[in-house]
Amino acid sequence: MAERTLTFVQAINEALHQAMERDPTVVVIGEDVAGGGGRAAQGIEDAWGGIMGATRGLIGRFGAARVIDTPISEAGFIGMAVGAAATGLRPVAELMFMDFLGVCLDPLLNQAAKLRYMFGGKARVPLVVRTLIGAGLRSAAQHSQSLHAFTTAIPGLKTVVPSNPHDAKGLLLAAIADDDPVVFCEPKTLYFTTGEVPAEPYTVPLGTAAVVRPGGAVTIWAVGRMVAVALAAAETLAAEGVEAEVVDVRSLSPLDEATLLASLARTGHLVVVDEAPPRCGLAADLAALAVDRGFDLLRGPVKRVTAPHAPVPFSPVLEDAYVPSPAQVVAAAHAALET
């Protein structure tokens, strides 16, 4: 088949179309996922299609019964989505920015994640919550957070973070088909990056990491937008004669420990790169995995590259200093190799 290039957001959009096409129980719920409040009469139904166009065209194709604009009531509509998931639908809810978890944690933490367990296995909650993460758009402290560790920490939820258009489509289709609640984090600065995306529906299974660059000297585990940062660092390192192996973690929960540790076994040195601040984050989680199950493989310290322990600043110079850079990853690789 001929190559076909889509942007990240087009890949998401295509996955939503295909999932809704194949399964009439899939519904899309969120603020302005159509836009204009579904005012078909005035011909302005699909005024927005999501703030960055991810849900564009859905209402025209599938109608207002399945593409549901909501009031600004995240706890209400995500809670509704949980209830709907437990009673026969497969809702895909859009939480515009993951920062807004602040106003709607309960339906995820205490309901979606726990219903099945609390009910002794009698419930299924096939819910997907799509949400934007990451800094870089000069949107300051309340619109730039990467809170994927919060949902990874919650037993009963699954969490994925695609790093490219191909995985975005495949992981989203897998998430929608999954019978458990999945938090699907979309790094917003990747939205208009492009990549090859097959036209037919396909899935990237949850619980699989991917080696995106082979190398024998040092392993770099990275997630989301940080995969590209790790790859850029690997280029610099290669120029120095240090071949880094880059692994895209991509499925945070379930975690593909085998692929991660196999890479560590090949290199013995490890850098973990994550866009969130350091405390109790994914980088710490993965470093802990390394030092527990992978201790015998380690020939040096595990170095983490993360955002600092601070809110995301607005000013471009500060924000640029905030987000982990290839240079920081290179330095960390040096430190990891130093022992």
Ligand X SMILES: Cc1ncc(C[n+]2csc(CCOP(=O)(O)OP(=O)(O)O)c2C)c(N)n1
| Residues between 301 and 330 with contacts to another protein, criterion CB under 8 A | 304-311, 313-318, 321-322
DSSP string, 223-289: -TTHHHHHHHHHHHHHHTT--EEEEE--EEETT-HHHHHHHHHHHS-EEEE-SS-STTSHHHHHHHH
Question: Is 334 noted as a catalytic residue in this protein?
Answer: no
- For position 94 contacting ligand X by CB under 6 A, the verdict is no
Stretch that binds ligand X, among 96-104, 155-163, 215-223, 306-314 (CB under 6 A): 96-104
Name which position in 75, 238, 262, 298 contacts another protein (CB under 8 A).
75
- For position 103 contacting ligand X by CB under 6 A, the verdict is yes
Q: Which CB sits closer to its own copies, 199 or 288?
A: 288
Question: How distant is the alpha carbon of residue 303 from its chain centre?
Answer: 22
CB 330 within 8 A of CB 233: yes
| Residues between 92 and 151 with contacts to its own copies, criterion CB under 8 A | 99, 101-103, 105-110, 113-114, 117-118, 140-142, 149-150
| Residues between 46 and 75 with contacts to its own copies, criterion CB under 8 A | 75
- For position 161 contacting its own copies by CB under 8 A, the verdict is no
* Backbone CA torsion sign across 290, 166, 331, 134: negative
- For position 100 contacting ligand X by CB under 6 A, the verdict is yes
| Residues between 20 and 49 with contacts to ligand X, criterion CB under 6 A | 31
Q: Which residue is nearest to ligand X (CB)?
A: 100
Query: Can you tell me the distance from the alpha carbon of 234 to that of 242, in angstroms, rounded to the nearest whole number?
Result: 8
Name which position in 25, 123, 311, 325 contacts its own copies (CB under 8 A).
311
DSSP string, 279-322: TTSHHHHHHHHHHHHTGGG-SSPEEEE---SSPPPSSHHHHHHH
Shortest CA distance to 185 belongs to which of 162, 206, 219, 167?
A: 162
Q: List interacting residues with its own copies (CB under 8 A).
A: 75, 99, 101-103, 105-110, 113-114, 117-118, 140-142, 149-150, 152-153, 155-156, 253, 255, 276-277, 279-285, 287-293, 295-296, 298, 300-304, 308-311, 313-314, 339
Question: Which residues are designated catalytic?
Answer: 143
